[in-house]
Structure 1
Amino acid sequence: MMAQNLPLPPDIQAISGERPLALFLDFDGTLIDIAPTPDGITVPPDLAARLTSLAEQLEGRLALVSGRAIPDLQDHLGIVGIACAGSHGSDCRAADGTPIGDEPDALSDEVLHEVGAFAAANGFALEDKPHGTALHYRANPELEEQGLAFAHALALQHGLAVKRGKRVIELVAQGADKAGAVRNLMQFAPFAGAFPVFVGDDITDEDGMRAAVEMGGFGIAVGDRPSENAVYALANPAAVQQWLHL
């Protein structure tokens, strides 16, 4: 269903007043506006403090679940004391930085070389991550078909998975998704036994929403897009921040 046909979510204070609430939030396109390049985002200087305050209100049951690597998130936010799952859930850490689950190996030098050479030859912007690599084509949307064909062929050859986002194609280890991040975090305090809500704007967020639904919660889609797993929608990051009372 298209997100614009979904209702607004109930007030967050009403939800958390009924039962312990666990919030899982995507970053780009959900908490902040998407930029033409990954480094071009504008992060409000007090966003980290506001998120930390929200996490305290939820007794620690707040996690950022992003396609970005955790060090990248920290560079932009300077945030500590909040659980994070980076690289599409492949790197999951508790609020104190303790790893949760097994950390996957980095992509091989052979794969990184092939992707780098392809990006340079075909006009993609390359983003290397600790547990994957990404081909951005926001400046050239017509590159999508060529990028997908290359990524799927390489993934098949090396036993990897392809993740799609808004004008980005990523190669990651098999099993790295946001559903795994939600399930991992929900096994441990303070998340265990809480009511999970996943908020996200992109295709990869559907995995996180699906896991939230499986555990008795729900998903909130951000922006005007189709969603198979959301039951509520918010128009944009500004609406998300307003709903969160940030």
Structure 2
Amino acid sequence: MTHALFLDFDGTLVEIVDRPDAVAVKPGVPETLTRLSAALEGALAVVSGRPIAFLDAKLEPFTPDAAGLHGVERRLAGVLHPCRPEEHPGLRRGIEGLHEALDPVENVIIEDKGCSVAVHWRMAPAEEGRAKGLVEDLAERLGSDYRIQYGKMVAEILPALSGKGPIIAKFMEEAPYAGKTPVFIGDDLTDENGFETVNRLGGVAVRIGDGETVARYRLPSVSALAKTLHGWADLGRVDFDGVPEA
């Protein structure tokens, strides 16, 4: 059965860097993804916490199906269902408060995504307690319509119904994904939910790097994945021969 491939972005297609806006896609990756998408009859999507517009800018000229902001926004077959910040007035006010509290703190970064907000302390690990506390306080004030998603030295507030697992499941109901075996590749806590979903759907999960995981397979690095994707594009299919088990 043909595979449907879902790829995380940060830590998977690109290396994680100190400043989230400074990530860089290695030369040749967009071309590899273009060839692989064609081989999979278009059943390739990028599933990320980033906005879709950011993904497009980094992956150009490749413009795949995509889920951004952990599924808050999505694009399938060229039809975009965007994030609408005006539908989140409480969150918008809360983001203003985060800026007031954290802008004076050196090297703590607030990443405003419109319908979600992420606070990064990678460059200021001593500020983890303060940053997490402010995020948790805001999430509590916002109530059950929102949740916190933790990642590698980042905490993000986003709509409660979002998640990589649910959006992968939704894509799997639509052409060209329906009837295919899902494969999801990611690297972080935010991806474990997606791994659980593809496992439940009879698919295959691949973890990039170290850490406990429910994924069946593991690749050591972003570079190792790039090499694997290039090999799959040459083969014209997904093939797990030579991919180590987790």
Contact 1:107 1:132 survives alignment (8 Å): no
Task: Return the alpha-carbon distance in structure 1 between the equivalents of residues 51 and 152 of structure 2.
Answer: 17
The letter of the residue matching 1:120 is D
SS in 1 for 2:216: strand
Residue 166 (structure 2) pairs with residue 180 (structure 1): yes
SS in 1 for 2:139: helix
Q: Which residue of 2 aligns with 1:212?
A: 198
SS in 2 for 1:113: helix
Q: Which residue of 1 aligns with 2:222?
A: 237
Contact 2:30 2:60 survives alignment (8 Å): yes
The letter of the residue matching 1:195 is T
Task: Return the alpha-carbon distance in structure 2 between the equivalents of residues 79 and 93 of structure 1.
Answer: 16
The letter of the residue matching 1:168 is V
The letter of the residue matching 2:135 is A
- Structure 2 unaligned blocks of 5 or more: 234-246
Task: Return the alpha-carbon distance in structure 2 between the equivalents of residues 47 and 56 of structure 1.
Answer: 14
SS in 2 for 1:59: coil
The letter of the residue matching 1:192 is A
2:94 to 95, 102, 111: 111
Deviation at 1:40, TM superposition (A): 1.6
Q: TM-score, normalised by structure 2?
A: 0.85
Contact 2:4 2:43 survives alignment (8 Å): yes
The letter of the residue matching 1:130 is G
SS in 1 for 2:95: helix
- Structure 1 unaligned blocks of 5 or more: 1-18
**Higher mean C-alpha deviation, range 207-216 or range 140-149:** 140-149
Taking structure 1 as reference, are residues 224 and 150 closer, same or farther at Cα in structure 2, changes over 3 Å only? same
Q: TM-score, normalised by structure 1?
A: 0.85
Residue 112 (structure 2) pairs with residue 128 (structure 1): yes
Deviation at 1:130, TM superposition (A): 2.4
Moved segments of 4+, more than 4 Å: none
- Cα shift readout 1:215-241 (whole Å, capped 9, x = no counterpart): 1112111111121x2111000011111
Residue 62 (structure 2) pairs with residue 77 (structure 1): no
1:58 to 29, 40, 51: 40
Percent identity between the two aligned chains? 34
The letter of the residue matching 1:29 is G
Q: How many residues align?
A: 226
Q: Which residue of 2 aligns with 1:157?
A: 141
Residue 186 (structure 2) pairs with residue 200 (structure 1): yes
